[in-house]
Amino acid sequence: KQEVTQIPAALSVPEGENLVLNCSFTDSAIYNLQWFRQDPGKGLTSLLLIQSSQREQTSGRLNASLDKSSGRSTLYIAASQPGDSATYLCAETRRGGADGLTFGKGTHLIIQP
Amino acid sequence: NAGVMQNPRHLVRRRGQEARLRCSPMKGHSHVYWYRQLPEEGLKFMVYLQKENIIDESGMPKERFSAEFPKEGPSILRIQQVVRGDSAAYFCASSPPPENRTHPFFGSGTQLSVL
């Protein structure tokens, strides 16, 4: 059974800090890993997707890495801003996306102005 | 190109009633996923459909829950005889066929409250 764990469950930091969110997974047959952002009362916004053959992806102030051998992924947020406050979810999928995503419970991030 | 549209945004039902949740996929997307997010829990996969076919329903409760994606019209998640434990946010995602290797796009969800 695939499991995805996210640590920490909640994080509060002052504006401007760099921070790292952690995600671990048990599935060695991972096909890709995806990071999402969820705002209260809204749907999920895909931030970064890392294929199993890749090591990392970058978009603006965000960088996500994938280490299949250790079963870990990290999301690095540089120069955090209050607008980054949200819940961040990581999810893994198998078999080319033909299966559903398996999500972690998320990290609730608050950036203090 | 509109995104994935879910309606209603909020749905209130009394115990024993039926709930019908609708999802219109993005244009050109032929595959739909339904997920449920219980309070303080992560999203859990329920069912994966393509038009007129259920591909994987391994995450859906065996009783009271059903899903369809007809040739025409939106995908429907139907919950019969709702109970308080069905209160949750239900999210739909759509994608092209998996061989396109495009990540799914999510709707804003339907918040179901059972009184």
Q: Three-class SS string for chain B?
A: CCCCEEECCEEEECCCCCEEEEEECCCCCCEEEEEEECCCCCEEEEEEEECCEEEECCCCCCCCEEEECCCCCCEEEEECCCCHHHCEEEEEEEECCHHHCCCCEECCCEEEEEC
Q: Are the beta carbons of B101 and A96 separated by less than 8 Å?
A: yes
Rounded to the nearest integer, the mean pLDDT of chain A is: 90
Q: Chains A, B: CB contacts under 8 A, how many?
A: 68
Q: Which residue has the higher pLDDT, A8 or A28?
A: A8
Tokens of B23: 């999802």
Distance of residue A80 Cα from the nearest chain B Cα, in angstroms: 24
**pLDDT tens-digit map of B73-98:** 999 999 999 999 999 999 999 988 76
**pLDDT tens-digit map of A56-70:** 999 999 999 999 889
Tell me, yes or no, if A89 comes closer than 8 A to chain B by beta carbon. Answer: yes
Distance of residue B36 Cα from the nearest chain A Cα, in angstroms: 11
